[in-house]
């Protein structure tokens, strides 16, 4: 109706982007810029955020969370202003493409907020791609990847997807071969952990122990080999996350979740990124689904996923 009245044809673009787990996460010393050098093996998993971007005749970027009132979103810790990574991504795209019309973003959240799975980064990556389509920006994928780096260390990977080694602060990506899916169970917590606080805790633990953090170097070749072979049994003993002791120090109850997963049949368990989500590695799809069922029956919030999966991807593009 409004399209007739205002001679403005709204267009709606829907994009989905995956959450990630860090199969291996080595953290080096604090750099002078306040970030840590890392060597990460990112794996995109089948838990997707979705961003629906609708062009508006008025300028500016607005955002809402599907199924959530403003108050509920704020209570869940999701900012609905320029602090929201999706809003920042749209503003950046508007700036680069010199847009004067606006966009409304509706985010469907599935990745746990402050869960260590890069949900906000996935929203940002999905928004970059959505605005690229919405505004026919004609930017090359590499140009979008450059914009992603400006938004955050995990945003380029959410755009790329698959499996990849991330160096620098995680933004220098090299795709890794992972031809067969690996099966995981994610156990979500009913609280979040702040990524900067977890890194800060790691620094304090290292200071207290007198251990000089080493340059993170490269991802353990055994991890790359196991991924290439699609071999969960070989991957299990080489999963590793330097942030795990810091997450456990801040949330000691996670130790029980890690143990619980193994008692219920996981090959290995690890804190995902800065946590508190726990990733349990399963031998195959049937084992993952059985493990998830047993954990749900025992009262956990668990779900089976697989990875690698694709990065940010257009789902639909509609003019109305």
Catalytic residues: 20, 154
Q: Which stretch binds ligand ATP (CB under 6 A): 90-98, 117-125, 232-240, 245-253?
A: 117-125
Q: Does 250 bind ligand ATP (CB under 6 A)?
A: no
**How is residue 53 written in tokens?**
């971007």
In whole angstroms, the minimum distance from the beta carbon of 141 to ligand ATP comes to: 22
Q: Which residues pair with 172 in a beta bridge?
A: 167
Q: Does 195 bind ligand ATP (CB under 6 A)?
A: yes
Question: Cis peptide before 215, with omega less than 30 degrees from 0?
Answer: no
Candidate residues 27, 85, 178, 238; the one interacting with ligand ATP per rule CB under 6 A: 85
Q: Does 67 bind ligand ATP (CB under 6 A)?
A: no
Q: Does 18 bind ligand ATP (CB under 6 A)?
A: no
Q: Does 116 bind ligand ATP (CB under 6 A)?
A: yes
Q: Does 115 bind ligand ATP (CB under 6 A)?
A: yes
Contact 20, 157 (CB under 8 A): yes
Q: Does 127 bind ligand ATP (CB under 6 A)?
A: no
In whole angstroms, the minimum distance from the beta carbon of 123 to ligand ATP comes to: 4
In whole angstroms, the minimum distance from the beta carbon of 49 to ligand ATP comes to: 8
Q: Which stretch binds ligand ATP (CB under 6 A): 25-33, 81-89, 133-141, 293-301?
A: 81-89
Q: Does 118 bind ligand ATP (CB under 6 A)?
A: yes
C-alpha distances in Å from residue 179, one per residue of 43, 69, 96, 162, 224: 12, 41, 36, 10, 12
Q: What is the dihedral of CA 127, 275, 281, 221, to 10 degrees?
A: 80
**Cβ distance to ligand ATP smaller for residue 125 or 232:** 125
* Residue 85 to residue 125: CA distance in whole angstroms: 9
- Nearest Cα residue to 115 out of 19, 20, 193: 193
Q: Does 162 bind ligand ATP (CB under 6 A)?
A: no
Candidate residues 45, 78, 159, 278; the one interacting with ligand ATP per rule CB under 6 A: 78
Output 26-32 pairs: Cβ under 8 A, ≥24 positions apart.
Answer: 26/216, 26/217, 26/219, 26/240, 26/242, 27/199, 27/202, 27/213, 27/216, 27/242, 27/243, 28/213, 28/214, 28/215, 28/216, 29/212, 29/213, 29/214, 29/215, 30/203
**Cβ distance to ligand ATP smaller for residue 124 or 176:** 124
Contact residues for ligand ATP (CB under 6 A)?
A: 77-79, 83-86, 107, 113-121, 123, 154, 195, 273-274
């Amino acid at each position: 109706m409004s399209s007739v009245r205002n001679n403005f044809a709204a267009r709606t673009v829907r994009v989905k982007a995956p959450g990630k787990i860090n199969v291996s996460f080595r953290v080096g010393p604090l750099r002078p810029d306040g970030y840590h050098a890392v060597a990460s093996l990112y794996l995109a998993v089948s838990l997707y955020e979705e961003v629906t971007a609708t062009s508006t005749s008025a300028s500016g970027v607005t955002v809402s969370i599907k199924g959530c009132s403003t108050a509920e979103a704020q209570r869940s810790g999701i900012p609905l202003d320029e602090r929201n990574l999706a809003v920042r991504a749209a503003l950046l795209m508007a700036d680069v493409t010199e847009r004067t019309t606006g966009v409304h973003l509706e985010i469907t959240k599935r990745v746990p907020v402050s869960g260590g799975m890069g949900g906000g980064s996935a929203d940002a990556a999905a928004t970059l791609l959505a605005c690229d389509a919405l505004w026919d920006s004609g930017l090359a994928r590499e140009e979008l990847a450059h914009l992603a780096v400006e938004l955050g260390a995990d945003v380029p990977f959410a755009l790329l997807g698959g499996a990849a080694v991330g160096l620098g602060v995680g933004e220098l990506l090299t795709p890794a071969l992972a031809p067969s899916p690996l099966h995981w169970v994610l156990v979500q917590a009913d609280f979040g952990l702040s990524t900067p606080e977890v890194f800060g805790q790691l620094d304090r633990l290292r200071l207290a122990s007198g251990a000089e953090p080493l340059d993170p170097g490269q991802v353990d070749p055994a991890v790359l080999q196991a991924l290439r072979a699609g071999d969960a049994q070989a991957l299990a003993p080489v999963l590793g996350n330097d942030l795990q002791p810091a997450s456990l120090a801040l949330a000691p109850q996670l130790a029980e979740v890690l143990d619980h997963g193994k008692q219920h049949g996981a090959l290995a368990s690890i804190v995902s990124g800065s946590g508190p989500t726990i990733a349990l590695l399963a031998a195959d799809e049937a084992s993952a689904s059985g493990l998830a069922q047993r954990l749900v029956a025992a009262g956990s919030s668990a779900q089976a996923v697989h990875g690698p999966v694709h990065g940010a991807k257009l789902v639909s593009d509609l003019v109305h």
